Structure formats: C-alpha cells, structure tokens
Amino acid sequence: MTTAKVDDEALFMAVDGGGTGCRARLETADGKVIGGGLAGPAATRFGVEASWAAISTAFSNALDEAGIGRSDAGHIHAGIGVAGLSRQGAREALEAMEHPFASAHFATDGEIACLGAHGGRDGAIVIVGTGSCGLARLSGQLIKIGGYGFPISDEGSGAYLGLRVVRAAMMAHDGRMAMTALLGEIMGRFGDDPGNAVQWMDQATATDYAAFAPIVVRHADDGDPAARRIMQDAAAAIETIGRTLFERGAERLTLIGGLASVIESWLAPDLRRRLSPQLGDSLDGAAILAGRPAIGR
Amino acid sequence: MTTAKVDDEALFMAVDGGGTGCRARLETADGKVIGGGLAGPAATRFGVEASWAAISTAFSNALDEAGIGRSDAGHIHAGIGVAGLSRQGAREALEAMEHPFASAHFATDGEIACLGAHGGRDGAIVIVGTGSCGLARLSGQLIKIGGYGFPISDEGSGAYLGLRVVRAAMMAHDGRMAMTALLGEIMGRFGDDPGNAVQWMDQATATDYAAFAPIVVRHADDGDPAARRIMQDAAAAIETIGRTLFERGAERLTLIGGLASVIESWLAPDLRRRLSPQLGDSLDGAAILAGRPAIGR
C-alpha cells in the first residue's frame, strides 16, 4: 500500500464495494463523516463496468451529501475496496477509470476489512459468513488461507454448517445416526421427505445452505448433540485457519463476519485468548487505504 | 414381487434400464442366454417416453437376435429394472405401455441388483460407485438407506472421495495440513493454482468429483497418509450403511458397484466377515423378477 502525503485540509473517500452492495463515506482527517452514499453490487464478477458504475454512484452520492461538486474533489483521496479485485485484469481496468480525486487506491474487500480491523497495522482476519476465508497483511505482503468457495473450501462457514446439518438430517432419517431436535426440525423443513431435500439440493446455492446455519446455532445453544458436534467441527476448521495465520507470522487476529461471534464462542480457549478486538470496519480500512490517519474507533 | 406361474416352455426377458444405457437378455428357464440387446439411457429422468423407447429398443434387439418376432413373444415373461422408477407417476406410466409379453414386471434398478446379488432371496446390498446407496429386500418390503444424491448424501462414494481430496488439496496448498504425494498430484491437476480449482468447481458434477477417486485409491495403496484417512472415512460411511441394514433385519449383505471391492478391503474385519458373495448381477435379478427360477451363477 502506498499512500499520498496529505495535509490537514485533505478529505478521504472510503468505498466498500461488495457483492451485495456498495457503500461510500466521505471523512475528514480526524474521522468526522461529512457525507455518505450507497449503490448496488460492485463485485467484479458482474463486470468491471458495472463495478465502476456502482462505485461512482456511491461516491457521487457521498459528494452530493457533503455538498461538494466533482470539479471540487481535487483535495479528496479515495480508498476503494472491491470484491473480486484479484480477478484477471480487474485491478488494471479499475485503476484506468477516470475519477475526480487527488488519488485513488484500490484493494480487495478482504484487504480493507483487514486494514480496518487492525487500524492499519499488520494483522490477520478470518471472515466467517456464508463463506470463510483467512487473510493477513504482514509487512506489505498479503497472505490468503482458504476461501476457495463452497463446497471445495469455506470450511466452518454458514454454507458448511448448512451442508453438514442437511447431511446429518438425511442420515438420521434412515437410522444411520440418532434423530435429535435439530435434525427433526431440518427434516420438518423438507416435509419429513428426503425426496424434497433432493429436489431442493438440485438448485441450492451456498447462500441456500447457509440459511440453515441459524437453526444449527440455536440448537447448539440448547445443547442438541448433533448441533454441538457440527459447531465443534466448524470451530475446529476456523481454528485451523487462525492457527495457520499465526504460524505465518501474524501477531493480531480478529474474527469478522456474520457468524464470527458465535464461532468465536466455540473456539479452543487458547486461541480465543489470542484474538484481538476489531478496531474498525471495512470503511475505516478503505479510509486508511486512502491515507487517512488511523483513529481509534 | 408377484411372479406369473410359468411352465418349462417359458422364456424370460431381463432388462436393466440404467442412466447410462439399457441392456436386455432373453433366457430359457435354466438360464441359457438366447439373445441380447442394448440401447441408450432408460432412466426416467430423461422422461418416461424416452425410458420406454430405450427399453423397447433393447428388448426388440434381443428378440431379433433370438429370431423371435414380436407377435410370437406371448410365451415370454419380462422383468424390467428402471432407474428412477420411484419418480412420481413413472411406474404407472411404464406399466401402462403396450408390450408383446405374457407378463411384464417392473422394479427399480436397485431392486433388480439386490434380487440378482442374492439369487432372489431376501438380502441387502450397498452400491458404491459414483454415488452410494443401501437397499434391502426383506419379506417383500424394500428398505432404502442413503443415496439421496451428492453432496447432501452418497457418503463413501466416488464423488465423496473426490470432494474430500480436492478439499484436502486446497488445505494443504495453504498450509492448513501436510502436503502429501496424493495432494501434490491433485494440485498438479489444477496447475498448482487454487484459482483453477475454483473455476473447475463452478461446473463440476458428481461424476467430475468421482473422477478423482482412482487417484485416491492408488495413493492409499501406497500408504499416503491423506489418502488413507480419506479411504478410512469413506469405508466408515459405507460401514454405517451396512450396519444399519443389518440392524433393520438383513441377514445377507453384498457390496456392489465400481468401488465395492476397494472399499470392502478398508472395512472393519467384523463387517467384512459378514459380507455375502454376489450370486448374480442386475440382469439375473431382472430375470428372477420375470419369474425365472434362481440359478447358481
């Protein structure tokens, strides 16, 4: 990451361009928010043009809210996180787009999340949501662990929890394992008929599998033995990602994502003790990427 | 199963209508083959009309080879196994088709495999190929265990071996587990780039996953630790299906399918000792379904 030298008058445009939507936030050097904007998905898998269109809409909305015209944006430094930036040619294409800012720096969505989580310092994150992925920024180097997608990767994620519980429900249905409250509820969702599960499976995406995760979490809290085993296995997978990041040299590790807090409670105590608090979110990371000094939020 | 009373002059048309092709065999009461025929896929997922077209082609070819015209087929009893017969409405539609035989009995492909394996007696089979499935015929009752499809079921199958080894290769690639000869070979198939595995995965079917199974088997024979663990887990899954079939009352159990013999060698000794030899194949089962007396093949 290279950052422009900035003076006190500079402003910072932070953009988080994800797969479900794009957020932009205009800030002063001390982190005061003076404008915000939203737009649709900005992941490069929808095409680089669509990605840039969403990013432009989001930052234009933030400029509007701050009352700054595009022609007056020359004192603004932008930091832009984009899902799928490492896709072939995407970074080059986005860096070539015309923008009104003094500078614009691009990074992956994971990288701005990591920057934000550690206030710009070196550190590592494990993202646990529909998918799972480990990421570390160490002396300017990026290390990625896992996150190759479902079902060949993304162990410990919501989709993984969903696949595990549907598998277990099928097994319990025909007596290969004990039927529990959790597995009964899952079979109930399929009208107690594996045939319905087969039909569902034919169309099911990772997101569809992940929709079962909250049910597993709820039953695990109630002590359901099948739910507990699935949560333990998921936590073990996340632990392996975390321990690998420590082995690779990370000193700070933070879990983020929709399932982070629940998975965290299932981790081995030694690993749980080694976790660092999340200092900021992805937009904080994008602002740091833009050159805004790190601030304690 | 109800079988017509047959005399010594009767002939038996055995048909095995599977998902990749359809075979027919015309036999005498003592099992002498007097004609055979082949045709394309007969699984009902291609439509009942297409299924019946394949079945008709196969048995017509067998009649031709035996020199018997359709109008002279009135002394032939047919037994027809069809993949996907339990699909909604399929049995009724096939039973309503016009045929030249004295009688025609339909069963699923699994049921004729089970009839054949045990020479028409009660018994159970576990089919281990691209998928996996347990099936028992006990006092006229059919019991099915698993086989709900990949990835929510079919534990221990070729597709399961493939998913396990691709997952492990991704983990070894980024240091989450030890790299072994097996996992190195798998990564090599993806040009040592997880990105290629991700692209492959987006299109991969159960059959594509199962294509990795022979590599796992070969390395397991060589003592590769990752391969051994995957084979042990697959064997444990097949064991669970087998033990469940015994618990449900089966006295004979046979493993059949492309991966049966290799999985059998990994089973726990007590279960391996309880396995029964395969007495005949699916066409033998179809002939028994047609009413042909069981013969020791």
Nearest neighbour of A153 by CB, restricted to B170, B175, B240: B170
Question: Does residue A251 surpass a pLDDT of 60?
Answer: yes
Cβ(A58)–Cβ(A24) under 8 Å? Answer: yes
Beta-carbon separation of B152 and A166 below 8 A: yes
* Complex prediction ipTM: 0.87
Beta-carbon separation of B240 and A171 below 8 A: yes
pLDDT of residue A235: 98
Q: What is the mean pLDDT of residues B130-156?
A: 95
Give CA angle at B151 (A161, A205), nearest 5°: 65
Q: Do A11-119+279-290 and A158-274 show the same overall fold?
A: yes
Cβ neighbours of A144 in B, within 8 Å: 174
Q: Does B87 touch chain A (CB under 8 A)?
A: no
Could you give phi then psi for residue B272, rounded to 5 degrees? -60, -40
Q: What is the mean pLDDT of residues A180-203?
A: 96
Cβ neighbours of B149 in A, within 8 Å: 198, 201-202
Nearest-CA residue of chain A relative to B200? A152
Beta-carbon separation of A152 and B146 below 8 A: no
In the stretch 200-239 of chain A, residues with CB closer than 8 A to chain B read: 201-202
* Separation between Cα atoms, residue A175 and residue A195, nearest integer Å: 16
Q: Give percent above pLDDT 70 in chain B.
A: 97
Count the residues in chain B: 297
Tell me the residue type at A204.
A
Q: Which of B257, B262, B249, B256 is nearest to B276 (CA)?
A: B256
Tell me the residue type at B209.
Y
Tell me the residue type at B13.
M
- The predicted-structure confidence for B110-121, as pLDDT tens digits, reads as follows 999 999 999 999
* Separation between Cα atoms, residue B95 and residue B83, nearest integer Å: 15
Q: What is the mean pLDDT of residues B110-134?
A: 97
Strand, helix or coil at B278? coil
What strands, in cross-sheet order, belong to the sheet with A76-82? A33-39, A22-28, A11-17, A76-82, A103-108
Strand, helix or coil at A194? helix
Q: Where are the domains of chain B?
A: 11-119+279-290, 158-274
Which option is the CATH number for B11-119+279-290: 3.90.1150.10, 3.20.20.450, 3.40.640.10, 3.30.420.40? 3.30.420.40
Q: Does B171 touch chain A (CB under 8 A)?
A: yes
- The predicted-structure confidence for B220-273, as pLDDT tens digits, reads as follows 999 999 999 999 999 999 999 999 999 999 999 999 999 999 999 999 999 999
Cβ(B83)–Cβ(B42) under 8 Å? Answer: yes
For chain A, percent helix, then strand, then coil, each to nearest 5?
A: 45, 20, 35
Cβ(A51)–Cβ(A92) under 8 Å? Answer: no
Q: Which fold has domain A158-274?
A: Nucleotidyltransferase; domain 5 (3.30.420)
| Residues 6 or more apart whose Cβ sits within 8 Å of residue B232 | B266
- The predicted-structure confidence for A77-116, as pLDDT tens digits, reads as follows 999 999 999 888 999 999 999 999 999 999 999 999 999 9
- The predicted-structure confidence for B53-65, as pLDDT tens digits, reads as follows 999 999 999 999 9
Cβ neighbours of A175 in B, within 8 Å: 145, 244, 247-248
- The predicted-structure confidence for B3-30, as pLDDT tens digits, reads as follows 444 555 899 999 999 988 999 999 999 9
pLDDT of residue A88: 86
